[in-house]
Structure 1
Amino acid sequence: MVWPTLALLFNAAVWGLSWWPLRLLRDMGVHPLWANVGLFSIGCAVLLLWRPQALGQVRRTPVLWAMALASGGVNAAFNWGVSIGEVVRVVLLFYLMPVWTALLAWLWLGERPGLGGLLRVGLALGGAALVLQPEGGAWPLPRSLADVLGLLGGLGFACNSVLVRRFAPVTRDEGRALAMLMGCVGVSLVLALALGPLTGMHWVPALPPVQPPWMALLGLTALAFLAGNLAYQHGASRLPANVTAVVMLTEVVFAALSAVWIGAEPLSGRTLLGGGLIVMAALLATLAPARVGRGAQPAAKANRRTSASSSASS
């Protein structure tokens, strides 16, 4: 159990630290949306070389297009948010997944939240209120684009998770993985093209004469994401699904510590308390017994079957 756990910790560290290279790329002139296009295009190329039949699955299975859209929204929102805002706030707001998952599972899977589900939603909302509330005591509302992106990223991730649970029996691992990667490229590309004229966003920066070119950093970051993905496959295939989910919550710790240490971000007592409530809600959600809704299979089985695609939307 040691090596699989370490593999999952490595994957959590990759995603917890992902804000750093994204900000370096931003400082070199690469907008986070265009960075997404490059990073996940490399992932698509690698997967197609390994499993070329996955493209046919995506073309023949319309439900994978919905998964692609949800996954693309997750990565566009999360990577953009951590690039421009306070990392800890964005990551914590992203982990409001118990709220969105309970709502979507009720609407799409027919799973009514029980007392435990309502408790988790209450904990998560209370934590979000503490994180979002300004010092003056005004209403706890998002106060920046980064806050909004963190919330949207968590909503997209919950949407993607529910779709995976609902349609895992009629899709294959490599098809879901490719759809999610293609969605990451497609959604970021559309947003970049649409917002470019309004924001002056350039699709490619000038190559600096002295500093290492941004393409080298982009390639190294893509390799790190790929290594994290492979580590996730190794760990998730050898550990129970609930253990995997608990270990992956360490992403919050990696993000918080690195933001304070490398980014010199402040970490207030209110943020710590609110973050603790959000993490507790997510932890309780991972330890809750699986409930099978209409057309869904047990969560643990679904998670094992979709391990190849889950980290694409981490």
Structure 2
Amino acid sequence: MTTMTDARITFFASAIVLATGAFWGFYWLPVRALSDMGLPGAWGTAAITVAAVIVLLPLAVARRGALRRAGPVALASVALGGAAFALYSVAFVYGRVAIIILLYFLTPVWSTLIGRYVMGWHTPRMRIVAILVGLAGLTVMLSADGSAPIPRSIGEWMALLAGLLWSVATTGIRSKSDLAPGESAFVFAAGAMVCAFVLAPVLEPLPAAEGLSLAPLLGVAAASGAIWWALSVAALMWATVRLEPARVGILLMSEVLVGAVSAAALAGEHLAALELLGGGLVLVAGVLEVWPVRQRRASHFV
């Protein structure tokens, strides 16, 4: 009976991770919708994250004791993860969807380097290969038009930085945080909100209130904050502690496929052949990064 229960939990958690990745592949739609409604730059992300914080605030108040007991490094790490997602969110306003997602998914490269040179963790040979493959994919993808292999828009730079910050954050989360999914989602959204409000006036001037259609704008922001930032993040955090990191990393790659296909179908954004090749290498690097973990854990059952 226990085996069956464990198998069902694993299946359910895997389905949540897969669905979350696919769902975030559509996240660019509300971000750009808010920009079109009059909240350009980071203002749309600020509105979404405010809604998420409001939705999660009652839970945070109820669990304030757990938040007080959490260490400062744990809280800062989760908040930094939210800031990384805020950068990722804003990047969709300034760049092509598929490129933004792929640049963000270079996180295995940064995570391996941080683990090796900052945390002093052992680096399996396959992860060194993952770094080389990921950097090769980045080079091919960014030089597809014959230019130097560097990001060419503020959106691409933000996506690259978001992936780096997410790698730093997850290192701290894995080593220091024991927050439950609800509290983690609140701190995550709060960190994103602060980051968005810091960025917003730097990127674009504050939009005039009289030029905004408040009812539809608030509806999109509230729904996006509640569904993407509150519900899906809390569900993802519940699922990730019940699965191998390898499985989580691979299942979340559904975001790349859904994001690229949805952007091509709905926004007419298509990738050139070399961009597709570079993106493919980035995804291969992600698989290689988690492969040693999967192999090592599998060996315990032989």
2-structure distance, mates of 1:287, 1:204: 51
2-structure distance, mates of 1:233, 1:62: 19
Tell me if structure 2 keeps the 8 A contact 1:17–1:255: yes
Counterpart among 22, 33, 37 of residue 24 in structure 1:
33
For structure 1, the residue ranges without an aligned partner over 5 or more in a row are 292-297, 299-314
Residue 110 of structure 2 is matched in structure 1 by 100
2-structure distance, mates of 1:168, 1:65: 7
Q: Deviations over 1:109-142 (max 9, x none)?
A: 2114232121000000000001100423x32111
Counterpart among 158, 167, 173 of residue 176 in structure 2:
167
RMSD of Structure 2 on Structure 1 (CA): 2.8
Q: Secondary structure at the match of 2:293?
A: coil
Counterpart among 222, 225, 237 of residue 225 in structure 2:
222
Tell me if structure 1 keeps the 8 A contact 2:13–2:243: yes
Q: 2:264 aligned with 1:260, yes or no?
A: yes
2-structure distance, mates of 1:250, 1:268: 20
Corresponding letter in the other structure for 1:27: D
2-structure distance, mates of 1:216, 1:15: 19
Tell me if structure 2 keeps the 8 A contact 1:91–1:150: yes
After the TM superposition, which residues 11-90 of structure 1 pair with which residues of structure 2 at under 5 Å, given as runs?
Answer: 11-58=20-67, 61-90=71-100
Residue 187 of structure 1 is matched in structure 2 by 195
Tell me if structure 2 keeps the 8 A contact 1:41–1:185: yes
Q: By how many angstroms is 1:176 displaced?
A: 3.5
Counterpart among 206, 211, 235 of residue 211 in structure 2:
206
Q: By how many angstroms is 1:177 displaced?
A: 3.2
Tell me if structure 2 keeps the 8 A contact 1:71–1:160: yes
Distance 1:58 1:3, change over 3 A: closer
Q: By how many angstroms is 1:269 displaced?
A: 1.0
Aligned residues: 286
Q: Secondary structure at the match of 1:262?
A: helix
Once the two structures are aligned, what percentage of the paired residues are identical? 25
Distance 1:203 1:179, change over 3 A: farther
Residue 139 of structure 1 is matched in structure 2 by 148
Counterpart among 129, 137, 151 of residue 119 in structure 1:
129
1-structure distance, mates of 2:108, 2:28: 23
2-structure distance, mates of 1:130, 1:3: 37
Distance 1:154 1:40, change over 3 A: same
TM-score by length of structure 1 reads: 0.81
Distance 1:236 1:70, change over 3 A: closer
1-structure distance, mates of 2:196, 2:263: 24
Tell me if structure 2 keeps the 8 A contact 1:44–1:181: yes
Tell me if structure 2 keeps the 8 A contact 1:48–1:55: no
For structure 2, the residue ranges without an aligned partner over 5 or more in a row are 1-7, 298-302
